[in-house]
Amino acid sequence: MRPVPCSLTCAEDLTMELYSPVKPSILIVDDSPDNLSLMAGLLINHYTVKTAIAGSQVMKIAITEQPDVILLDIMMPDLDGYEVCRRLKADSLTSQIPVIFLTSKTDQESEQLGMTVGAVDYITRPVTPAILLSRVKAHFMVAANAKTMRINNEYLEFEVSKRTRQMAALQNVTILALASLAETRDSETGNHLKRTQHYVELLCKYLRTQPRFHDFLSPQRIQFMVQCAPLHDIGKVGIPDRILLKPGRYSAAEFEIMKAHPTLGRDAIAKAQANASQDGEFFEIAKQLIYSHHEKWDGSGYPQGLAGDAIPVPARLMALADVYDALICQRVYKASMPHERAVDIIVEGRGQHFDPEVVDAFLALGDEFQAVAARFADSMEELEKKASDFANSVT
Protein backbone atom coordinates (compact mmCIF):
# COMPACT_ATOMS: atom_id res chain seq x y z
CA MET A 1 0.00 0.00 0.00
CA ARG A 2 1.33 3.42 -0.96
CA PRO A 3 1.71 5.79 2.02
CA VAL A 4 -0.73 8.63 2.37
CA PRO A 5 1.01 12.06 2.64
CA CYS A 6 1.36 13.29 6.19
CA SER A 7 -0.39 16.54 5.23
CA LEU A 8 -3.64 14.68 5.78
CA THR A 9 -3.01 14.98 9.51
CA CYS A 10 -2.66 18.77 9.30
CA ALA A 11 -5.91 20.71 9.73
CA GLU A 12 -4.75 23.53 7.47
CA ASP A 13 -4.32 21.18 4.48
CA LEU A 14 -7.83 20.64 3.19
CA THR A 15 -7.20 18.72 -0.01
CA MET A 16 -4.87 16.11 -1.46
CA GLU A 17 -4.46 14.49 -4.86
CA LEU A 18 -2.75 11.17 -5.57
CA TYR A 19 -2.36 11.25 -9.34
CA SER A 20 -2.51 8.49 -11.91
CA PRO A 21 -3.08 9.48 -15.56
CA VAL A 22 -4.94 6.34 -16.65
CA LYS A 23 -7.16 5.63 -13.68
CA PRO A 24 -10.66 6.95 -13.09
CA SER A 25 -10.82 9.45 -10.25
CA ILE A 26 -12.65 9.44 -6.94
CA LEU A 27 -13.10 12.31 -4.50
CA ILE A 28 -13.28 11.25 -0.84
CA VAL A 29 -14.81 13.78 1.56
CA ASP A 30 -14.48 13.32 5.33
CA ASP A 31 -13.56 15.62 8.19
CA SER A 32 -11.52 12.82 9.83
CA PRO A 33 -7.93 12.52 8.53
CA ASP A 34 -7.86 8.93 9.79
CA ASN A 35 -10.93 8.01 7.76
CA LEU A 36 -9.46 9.74 4.68
CA SER A 37 -6.23 7.83 5.09
CA LEU A 38 -8.08 4.52 5.45
CA MET A 39 -10.32 5.05 2.43
CA ALA A 40 -7.47 6.38 0.28
CA GLY A 41 -5.39 3.34 1.18
CA LEU A 42 -8.18 1.00 0.08
CA LEU A 43 -8.81 2.77 -3.22
CA ILE A 44 -5.42 4.13 -4.33
CA ASN A 45 -4.38 1.03 -6.28
CA HIS A 46 -7.52 1.23 -8.42
CA TYR A 47 -8.32 4.93 -8.73
CA THR A 48 -6.82 8.39 -8.78
CA VAL A 49 -7.72 9.56 -5.30
CA LYS A 50 -8.56 13.15 -4.45
CA THR A 51 -9.58 14.15 -0.93
CA ALA A 52 -11.30 16.99 0.88
CA ILE A 53 -11.50 17.44 4.64
CA ALA A 54 -14.41 19.91 4.62
CA GLY A 55 -17.77 19.98 2.89
CA SER A 56 -17.28 23.62 1.94
CA GLN A 57 -14.40 22.61 -0.36
CA VAL A 58 -16.32 20.03 -2.35
CA MET A 59 -18.02 22.25 -4.95
CA LYS A 60 -14.78 23.94 -5.98
CA ILE A 61 -12.92 20.64 -6.27
CA ALA A 62 -15.79 18.90 -8.06
CA ILE A 63 -16.12 21.69 -10.64
CA THR A 64 -12.40 22.02 -11.36
CA GLU A 65 -11.38 18.35 -11.09
CA GLN A 66 -14.59 16.64 -12.30
CA PRO A 67 -14.10 13.36 -10.39
CA ASP A 68 -15.85 10.29 -11.72
CA VAL A 69 -17.38 9.44 -8.32
CA ILE A 70 -17.66 11.22 -4.95
CA LEU A 71 -17.47 9.27 -1.69
CA LEU A 72 -19.10 11.56 0.88
CA ASP A 73 -19.37 11.53 4.68
CA ILE A 74 -22.56 12.89 6.22
CA MET A 75 -21.50 14.25 9.61
CA MET A 76 -19.15 17.19 9.01
CA PRO A 77 -18.90 20.42 11.00
CA ASP A 78 -19.30 23.09 8.30
CA LEU A 79 -21.68 21.60 5.73
CA ASP A 80 -23.14 18.16 6.30
CA GLY A 81 -23.11 15.62 3.50
CA TYR A 82 -26.79 16.07 2.71
CA GLU A 83 -26.33 19.78 1.97
CA VAL A 84 -23.16 19.09 -0.04
CA CYS A 85 -25.05 16.54 -2.13
CA ARG A 86 -27.94 18.96 -2.70
CA ARG A 87 -25.53 21.60 -3.98
CA LEU A 88 -23.77 19.13 -6.26
CA LYS A 89 -27.05 18.02 -7.80
CA ALA A 90 -28.26 21.59 -8.23
CA ASP A 91 -25.27 22.65 -10.33
CA SER A 92 -25.22 21.60 -13.99
CA LEU A 93 -21.44 21.21 -13.86
CA THR A 94 -21.59 18.59 -11.09
CA SER A 95 -25.10 17.16 -11.22
CA GLN A 96 -24.03 14.09 -13.21
CA ILE A 97 -21.28 13.02 -10.78
CA PRO A 98 -22.46 9.96 -8.75
CA VAL A 99 -22.44 10.53 -4.99
CA ILE A 100 -22.00 7.60 -2.56
CA PHE A 101 -22.60 8.29 1.11
CA LEU A 102 -20.12 6.59 3.43
CA THR A 103 -21.21 7.14 7.03
CA SER A 104 -21.62 5.78 10.53
CA LYS A 105 -25.33 6.73 10.49
CA THR A 106 -27.07 3.39 10.19
CA ASP A 107 -30.72 4.32 10.79
CA GLN A 108 -33.23 3.90 7.97
CA GLU A 109 -34.33 7.55 8.01
CA SER A 110 -30.78 8.78 7.33
CA GLU A 111 -30.37 6.34 4.46
CA GLN A 112 -33.70 7.38 2.96
CA LEU A 113 -32.77 11.06 3.21
CA GLY A 114 -29.44 10.34 1.54
CA MET A 115 -31.15 8.79 -1.45
CA THR A 116 -33.72 11.59 -1.53
CA VAL A 117 -31.07 14.32 -1.91
CA GLY A 118 -29.56 12.53 -4.90
CA ALA A 119 -27.06 9.89 -3.76
CA VAL A 120 -26.74 6.70 -5.82
CA ASP A 121 -25.70 4.52 -2.86
CA TYR A 122 -25.43 4.52 0.91
CA ILE A 123 -22.64 2.54 2.62
CA THR A 124 -22.36 2.30 6.40
CA ARG A 125 -19.26 1.93 8.53
CA PRO A 126 -17.45 -0.22 9.43
CA VAL A 127 -16.84 -1.19 5.81
CA THR A 128 -15.71 -4.45 4.33
CA PRO A 129 -12.95 -3.59 1.80
CA ALA A 130 -14.17 -6.10 -0.80
CA ILE A 131 -17.75 -4.84 -0.59
CA LEU A 132 -16.64 -1.20 -0.77
CA LEU A 133 -14.47 -1.86 -3.83
CA SER A 134 -17.24 -3.84 -5.52
CA ARG A 135 -19.91 -1.19 -5.00
CA VAL A 136 -17.63 1.68 -5.98
CA LYS A 137 -16.59 -0.20 -9.12
CA ALA A 138 -20.23 -0.81 -10.04
CA HIS A 139 -21.02 2.90 -9.83
CA PHE A 140 -17.92 3.79 -11.82
CA MET A 141 -19.12 1.50 -14.59
CA VAL A 142 -22.63 2.97 -14.52
CA ALA A 143 -21.20 6.50 -14.53
CA ALA A 144 -18.82 5.66 -17.39
CA ASN A 145 -21.65 4.23 -19.48
CA ALA A 146 -23.82 7.27 -18.76
CA LYS A 147 -20.96 9.59 -19.68
CA THR A 148 -20.41 7.72 -22.95
CA MET A 149 -24.10 8.02 -23.75
CA ARG A 150 -24.07 11.76 -23.00
CA ILE A 151 -21.04 12.26 -25.22
CA ASN A 152 -22.67 10.27 -28.01
CA ASN A 153 -25.92 12.20 -27.63
CA GLU A 154 -24.08 15.53 -27.65
CA TYR A 155 -22.23 14.47 -30.79
CA LEU A 156 -25.47 13.42 -32.47
CA GLU A 157 -27.14 16.69 -31.45
CA PHE A 158 -24.17 18.59 -32.84
CA GLU A 159 -24.32 16.71 -36.12
CA VAL A 160 -28.08 17.18 -36.42
CA SER A 161 -27.69 20.88 -35.64
CA LYS A 162 -24.90 21.19 -38.20
CA ARG A 163 -26.91 19.41 -40.88
CA THR A 164 -29.94 21.54 -40.04
CA ARG A 165 -27.88 24.71 -40.44
CA GLN A 166 -26.49 23.42 -43.72
CA MET A 167 -29.97 22.61 -45.00
CA ALA A 168 -31.26 26.01 -43.89
CA ALA A 169 -28.36 27.73 -45.64
CA LEU A 170 -29.01 25.72 -48.80
CA GLN A 171 -32.70 26.54 -48.58
CA ASN A 172 -31.96 30.25 -48.21
CA VAL A 173 -29.57 30.22 -51.15
CA THR A 174 -32.14 28.40 -53.28
CA ILE A 175 -34.87 30.86 -52.34
CA LEU A 176 -32.68 33.86 -53.13
CA ALA A 177 -31.63 32.29 -56.43
CA LEU A 178 -35.26 31.79 -57.45
CA ALA A 179 -36.20 35.27 -56.32
CA SER A 180 -33.26 36.78 -58.17
CA LEU A 181 -34.42 35.02 -61.31
CA ALA A 182 -37.72 36.87 -61.11
CA GLU A 183 -35.91 40.12 -60.28
CA THR A 184 -33.85 39.94 -63.48
CA ARG A 185 -37.05 40.29 -65.51
CA ASP A 186 -38.37 43.52 -64.03
CA SER A 187 -37.18 46.87 -62.78
CA GLU A 188 -36.44 45.78 -59.21
CA THR A 189 -32.88 45.35 -57.96
CA GLY A 190 -31.52 42.51 -55.87
CA ASN A 191 -31.31 44.78 -52.86
CA HIS A 192 -35.10 45.17 -52.98
CA LEU A 193 -35.31 41.53 -51.96
CA LYS A 194 -32.95 42.04 -49.04
CA ARG A 195 -34.67 45.20 -47.86
CA THR A 196 -38.18 43.76 -47.92
CA GLN A 197 -36.92 40.63 -46.16
CA HIS A 198 -35.53 42.74 -43.31
CA TYR A 199 -38.67 44.91 -43.17
CA VAL A 200 -40.79 41.78 -42.73
CA GLU A 201 -38.49 40.55 -39.98
CA LEU A 202 -38.76 43.87 -38.14
CA LEU A 203 -42.55 43.81 -38.35
CA CYS A 204 -42.71 40.18 -37.21
CA LYS A 205 -40.60 40.72 -34.12
CA TYR A 206 -42.48 43.86 -33.12
CA LEU A 207 -45.96 42.44 -33.70
CA ARG A 208 -45.12 39.27 -31.78
CA THR A 209 -45.24 41.45 -28.67
CA GLN A 210 -48.84 42.45 -29.48
CA PRO A 211 -51.71 40.23 -28.23
CA ARG A 212 -53.47 40.06 -31.59
CA PHE A 213 -50.44 38.62 -33.37
CA HIS A 214 -48.57 36.81 -30.60
CA ASP A 215 -50.06 33.35 -31.08
CA PHE A 216 -49.52 33.30 -34.84
CA LEU A 217 -46.02 34.77 -34.86
CA SER A 218 -44.11 31.89 -33.32
CA PRO A 219 -40.31 31.91 -33.76
CA GLN A 220 -40.55 29.21 -36.43
CA ARG A 221 -43.24 31.05 -38.39
CA ILE A 222 -41.20 34.23 -38.22
CA GLN A 223 -38.24 32.33 -39.63
CA PHE A 224 -40.38 30.94 -42.45
CA MET A 225 -41.84 34.36 -43.26
CA VAL A 226 -38.39 35.96 -43.43
CA GLN A 227 -37.15 33.13 -45.64
CA CYS A 228 -40.17 33.38 -47.96
CA ALA A 229 -40.24 37.16 -48.30
CA PRO A 230 -37.87 37.30 -51.31
CA LEU A 231 -40.27 35.04 -53.20
CA HIS A 232 -43.20 37.47 -53.06
CA ASP A 233 -43.02 38.31 -56.78
CA ILE A 234 -41.69 34.98 -58.07
CA GLY A 235 -44.81 34.66 -60.26
CA LYS A 236 -43.59 37.53 -62.46
CA VAL A 237 -41.46 35.01 -64.34
CA GLY A 238 -44.71 33.90 -65.98
CA ILE A 239 -45.77 37.37 -67.16
CA PRO A 240 -44.99 38.19 -70.84
CA ASP A 241 -42.19 40.72 -71.39
CA ARG A 242 -44.48 43.00 -73.41
CA ILE A 243 -46.45 43.60 -70.22
CA LEU A 244 -43.89 43.13 -67.46
CA LEU A 245 -41.40 45.47 -69.11
CA LYS A 246 -43.87 48.03 -70.41
CA PRO A 247 -42.62 51.50 -69.34
CA GLY A 248 -46.02 53.22 -69.33
CA ARG A 249 -49.35 52.53 -67.67
CA TYR A 250 -51.13 49.24 -68.28
CA SER A 251 -54.37 49.01 -70.16
CA ALA A 252 -57.21 47.29 -68.31
CA ALA A 253 -56.55 44.06 -70.21
CA GLU A 254 -52.80 44.24 -69.57
CA PHE A 255 -53.36 44.85 -65.87
CA GLU A 256 -55.55 41.75 -65.68
CA ILE A 257 -52.67 39.72 -67.06
CA MET A 258 -50.23 41.37 -64.65
CA LYS A 259 -52.56 40.56 -61.76
CA ALA A 260 -52.02 36.87 -62.50
CA HIS A 261 -48.49 36.86 -61.06
CA PRO A 262 -49.57 36.06 -57.45
CA THR A 263 -51.51 33.05 -58.72
CA LEU A 264 -48.58 31.90 -60.86
CA GLY A 265 -46.24 32.20 -57.90
CA ARG A 266 -48.56 30.34 -55.55
CA ASP A 267 -49.03 27.53 -58.06
CA ALA A 268 -45.26 27.14 -58.45
CA ILE A 269 -44.86 26.77 -54.69
CA ALA A 270 -47.76 24.32 -54.58
CA LYS A 271 -45.99 22.11 -57.13
CA ALA A 272 -42.82 22.20 -55.04
CA GLN A 273 -44.86 21.35 -51.95
CA ALA A 274 -46.34 18.30 -53.66
CA ASN A 275 -42.84 16.89 -54.09
CA ALA A 276 -41.65 17.70 -50.56
CA SER A 277 -41.82 15.41 -47.55
CA GLN A 278 -41.49 17.99 -44.76
CA ASP A 279 -41.80 21.65 -43.72
CA GLY A 280 -45.46 21.75 -44.79
CA GLU A 281 -45.99 24.98 -42.86
CA PHE A 282 -43.09 26.61 -44.71
CA PHE A 283 -44.89 26.06 -48.01
CA GLU A 284 -48.22 27.19 -46.60
CA ILE A 285 -46.72 30.47 -45.41
CA ALA A 286 -44.93 30.93 -48.73
CA LYS A 287 -48.19 30.45 -50.64
CA GLN A 288 -50.05 32.89 -48.39
CA LEU A 289 -47.37 35.56 -48.68
CA ILE A 290 -47.04 35.23 -52.46
CA TYR A 291 -50.72 34.85 -53.31
CA SER A 292 -52.21 37.53 -51.07
CA HIS A 293 -49.68 40.35 -50.70
CA HIS A 294 -51.64 42.50 -53.16
CA GLU A 295 -54.86 42.16 -51.16
CA LYS A 296 -56.04 45.31 -49.36
CA TRP A 297 -57.57 45.70 -45.93
CA ASP A 298 -60.77 47.20 -47.38
CA GLY A 299 -61.23 44.37 -49.88
CA SER A 300 -60.23 46.32 -53.00
CA GLY A 301 -57.07 44.30 -53.71
CA TYR A 302 -56.42 41.21 -55.80
CA PRO A 303 -56.50 38.34 -56.72
CA GLN A 304 -59.37 37.35 -54.38
CA GLY A 305 -60.60 40.66 -53.00
CA LEU A 306 -60.04 39.52 -49.42
CA ALA A 307 -60.67 42.02 -46.63
CA GLY A 308 -59.59 42.48 -43.00
CA ASP A 309 -58.48 39.45 -41.04
CA ALA A 310 -59.36 37.18 -43.97
CA ILE A 311 -56.04 38.30 -45.45
CA PRO A 312 -53.31 35.98 -44.11
CA VAL A 313 -50.88 37.60 -41.67
CA PRO A 314 -47.78 36.93 -43.83
CA ALA A 315 -49.42 38.75 -46.74
CA ARG A 316 -50.41 41.74 -44.61
CA LEU A 317 -46.84 42.28 -43.46
CA MET A 318 -45.41 41.71 -46.93
CA ALA A 319 -47.86 44.22 -48.42
CA LEU A 320 -46.58 47.06 -46.25
CA ALA A 321 -42.93 46.10 -46.67
CA ASP A 322 -43.29 45.93 -50.46
CA VAL A 323 -45.13 49.25 -50.78
CA TYR A 324 -42.73 51.11 -48.50
CA ASP A 325 -39.73 49.94 -50.48
CA ALA A 326 -41.40 50.77 -53.78
CA LEU A 327 -42.04 54.32 -52.52
CA ILE A 328 -38.61 55.19 -51.10
CA CYS A 329 -36.35 53.59 -53.69
CA GLN A 330 -35.37 54.94 -57.07
CA ARG A 331 -36.49 52.90 -60.04
CA VAL A 332 -35.90 53.02 -63.76
CA TYR A 333 -39.23 54.74 -64.19
CA LYS A 334 -39.32 57.00 -61.09
CA ALA A 335 -37.26 58.98 -58.59
CA SER A 336 -36.95 58.00 -54.95
CA MET A 337 -39.30 59.44 -52.34
CA PRO A 338 -38.28 60.81 -48.91
CA HIS A 339 -39.04 58.54 -45.96
CA GLU A 340 -41.36 61.13 -44.45
CA ARG A 341 -43.54 61.29 -47.56
CA ALA A 342 -43.65 57.48 -47.76
CA VAL A 343 -44.80 57.43 -44.12
CA ASP A 344 -47.60 59.87 -44.96
CA ILE A 345 -48.81 57.68 -47.84
CA ILE A 346 -48.79 54.53 -45.70
CA VAL A 347 -50.65 56.33 -42.92
CA GLU A 348 -53.24 57.42 -45.48
CA GLY A 349 -53.67 53.75 -46.35
CA ARG A 350 -54.24 52.71 -42.71
CA GLY A 351 -57.49 50.78 -42.60
CA GLN A 352 -57.82 50.91 -46.37
CA HIS A 353 -54.76 49.35 -47.97
CA PHE A 354 -53.10 48.12 -44.76
CA ASP A 355 -54.01 46.44 -41.49
CA PRO A 356 -54.14 49.35 -39.01
CA GLU A 357 -52.05 47.53 -36.41
CA VAL A 358 -49.37 46.72 -38.99
CA VAL A 359 -49.21 50.43 -39.84
CA ASP A 360 -48.84 51.23 -36.14
CA ALA A 361 -45.94 48.78 -35.93
CA PHE A 362 -44.35 50.42 -38.97
CA LEU A 363 -44.61 53.83 -37.34
CA ALA A 364 -42.94 52.51 -34.19
CA LEU A 365 -40.15 51.04 -36.33
CA GLY A 366 -39.49 54.10 -38.52
CA ASP A 367 -35.82 54.47 -37.56
CA GLU A 368 -35.17 50.75 -38.06
CA PHE A 369 -36.82 50.82 -41.51
CA GLN A 370 -34.63 53.76 -42.52
CA ALA A 371 -31.53 51.96 -41.26
CA VAL A 372 -32.34 48.90 -43.38
CA ALA A 373 -32.95 51.10 -46.43
CA ALA A 374 -29.58 52.80 -45.92
CA ARG A 375 -27.73 49.55 -45.30
CA PHE A 376 -29.01 47.91 -48.47
CA ALA A 377 -29.29 51.01 -50.65
CA ASP A 378 -28.90 50.53 -54.40
CA SER A 379 -25.65 51.92 -55.73
CA MET A 380 -25.64 54.21 -58.74
CA GLU A 381 -23.81 51.51 -60.67
CA GLU A 382 -26.59 49.00 -59.92
CA LEU A 383 -29.28 51.48 -60.93
CA GLU A 384 -27.53 52.39 -64.17
CA LYS A 385 -27.08 48.74 -65.08
CA LYS A 386 -30.72 48.03 -64.31
CA ALA A 387 -31.78 51.00 -66.43
CA SER A 388 -29.64 49.76 -69.32
CA ASP A 389 -30.98 46.20 -69.02
CA PHE A 390 -34.52 47.51 -68.81
CA ALA A 391 -34.11 49.74 -71.89
CA ASN A 392 -32.60 46.89 -73.90
CA SER A 393 -35.42 44.55 -72.89
CA VAL A 394 -38.08 47.05 -73.92
CA THR A 395 -36.50 47.72 -77.28
Same structural domain, 140 and 227:
no
Residue 98: which domain range? 6-155
Count, in order, helices (H) and strands (E) of the chain.
Answer: 17, 6
Do 240 and 339 belong together in one domain?
yes
Q: Are residues 99 and 207 in the same domain?
A: no
pLDDT tens figures, 287-344: 999 999 999 999 999 999 999 999 999 999 999 999 999 999 876 556 779 999 999 9
Which CATH number goes with the domain that contains 213?
Answer: 1.10.3210.10
pLDDT of residue 216 exceeding 90, the answer is yes
The verdict on 135 and 189 lying in the same domain is no
355 falls within a domain:
yes
Tell me which of 155, 171, 200 is where a domain ends.
Answer: 155
* Residue 169 is assigned to a structural domain of this protein: no
Does residue 192 sit in the same domain as residue 317?
yes
Say if residue 232 is in the same domain as residue 359: yes
Is residue 122 located within the same domain as residue 212? no
Clarify whether residues 128 and 199 are in a common domain. Answer: no
Where are the extended beta strands (E) located within 97-192? 99-103, 121-124
Q: 220 and 368, same structural domain?
A: yes
pTM summary value: 0.58
Count structural domains, the chain. 2
Task: Report CA-CA distances (Å) from 311 to 15, 232, 241, 291, 300.
Answer: 70, 15, 30, 10, 12
To 10 degrees, what angle do helices 313-328 and 366-375 make? 60
Q: Are residues 120 and 209 in the same domain?
A: no
Q: Is 263 helix (H, G, I), strand (E, B) or coil?
A: helix
DSSP state of 338: -
Judge if 120 and 190 occupy the same domain.
no
Domain co-membership, 107 together with 207: no
Does 382 have pLDDT greater than 70? no
Mean pLDDT, the chain, rounded, equals 85
CA nearest to 352, candidates 390, 309, 298, 299: 298
Which comes out higher in pLDDT, residue 17 or 54? 54
| More confident call, 163 vs 285 | 285
Least confidently predicted of 280-294, 338-352, 370-384: 370-384
84-123 pLDDT tens trace: 999 999 999 999 999 999 999 999 999 999 999 999 999 9
